[in-house]
Amino acid sequence: MDENINNNNNIDDAFARLEEIIESMEKRDTSLEESFNLYKEGVLLVKECNDKLDKVEKEISIINSNGEIIESDGTF
């Protein structure tokens, strides 16, 4: 359970950083080189978040109408 909390915090931190990156890239005084470096960082963060969300999605359990827990295979 603690691992999921840490993953959520990491995802929250990553999304917060992505917002910062977008704000920085929107500024007119951001150089092309700095924009490119921010873009690369953003792409890596998005990939990391997608990987973590995919992992969580595969671990999701579904409760059917009879109250039985069905383990998801990652497809919906």
- Within-domain flag for 8: yes
How many residues does this entry show for the chain? 76
In a domain, 27, yes or no: yes
| Domain assignment present for 31 | yes
Residue-level pLDDT at 44: 96
Number of domains in the chain: 1
Structural domain boundaries enclosing 50: 2-71
Position 35 in a domain: yes
In a domain, residue 51? The reply is yes
Quick check: is 36 in a domain?
yes
| Residue 43 included in any domain | yes
The answer to whether residue 76 is domain-embedded is no
What is the residue-averaged pLDDT of the chain? 82
pLDDT over 90 at 10, yes or no: no
Distance CA(44)–CA(38), nearest Å, equals 10
CA dihedral 35, 40, 44, 46 (to 10 degrees): 50
The pTM of this model reads 0.66
Is the Cβ–Cβ distance between 63 and 70 less than 8 Å?
A: yes
- What letter represents residue 15's amino acid? F
